[in-house]
Structure 1
Amino acid sequence: MVQKMKTDSIERVEARREVGKRVRREAILAAAERVVIARGYAEASMDQVAREAGMAAGTLYLYFPGKEALLQELLGSKVRRLDEAVGAEIEEGRGMGETVRAVVLAMFRHFEEHRGFFECFVREQIEFTRNATHSSGVLREMAQVTARLTEWIEGAQGRGEVGGGEAALLAVALRGLVFQFTRDWLRDGAKGELTRHAGFVAAFFLKGAGA
């Protein structure tokens, strides 16, 4: 009985410790995003992120070995949240046309919400991706988005809602349309709402996919 109480106590302490680590990690990523938006990737530093997060630089290095790893994780987290947004719309179980528009709208909203960060990414993309090890991790995250879209399109093809082209190519085409409109919007100074293009992008994709 005593041993079980000790074990339970240790497990609770470990659980609280893990929660604390996750909270600090998220705080670091949020601080890094603010620094990147304010200073740009090239000028951002670990010391600046530590100050913005309200922690010692040494603590920051316990979570990330350096600036490149930190900024690539920040970019990866944005891609993961994009994947989650896409998944949430797909799981609603609507028809093909309505789902395409909802997916495009969700992706555009994500880019609008983090406009400052993605403006910096587009402006300094070479700096963001120059480390092959870190950029490969981001590419893996992006592949998850494509895989989710591919699986959904395959299901729609099975129900006869869309043409019989290669599902993976259609997924890449849809992702590419969204990213191209987003890049153009950012390079044009992010004027107006990106989401206003959702209907056009969805209709263009559906026509090309034979829906």
Structure 2
Amino acid sequence: MEARLFYFLVCYATTTVFVTCLDTGVPQYLLEYVGVQTNEKCLPGNHSLKLNSTIDEEQELILPGDQESLFFNVMGLWRISQHMGWYFDTILGGVGDKCEQLRWPMNDERMTAIRFGDPLQVRKEIHLYDYYKFYGMRYTANGSTPSVSPPIRVRSYHFTGNYSWTLFSGQNFTGKSVCRKSKIQGRDWGITYGEVFEGFVTRSVREGC
């Protein structure tokens, strides 16, 4: 009885730790720095704004004033949109190790940012878009899918976690294929993306390459 109880406790503890590790990722974030050139290095704790990474919609950013500079420190994948009566978009992706300066025209009415992908960057799913920079119709697959209906002409994509995906021109994984491998090295979290895709018409998606 004692041996069985010990075995149960070990298995329970091992399973609990394993599941917890699988569920653990690195939260996305976007830090905005507005000010003079002293902000250029994106000093820790010196940011002007930190966006909520759990929100899936656009969030307002701070517009720089005269003689002010604008920098971002990014973890994950974000799109910065400058609203000037029309949209001017910048895609920022990273792992929090870069300080990126963004140039902006002085006639901006407002500026927003939106996050893409799983907030923790570990979920097994790929998002396909029929327009550039993650605009247009979106199709999401979280596993092998023998039929994508209606078919989607992919021009941009992103996926989280250390996975790879193959897109097929025919249903049931037939026809021409395009493989997209994870760009993550040595870790299980992160985002792989393509801003501009060759317009590959996709009718099925398979996990792996």
Using the size of structure 1 for normalisation, the TM-score is: 0.30
Q: Judging by fraction of residues, say which structure has more strand.
A: 2
Larger RCO (CA under 8 A, 6+ residues apart): 1
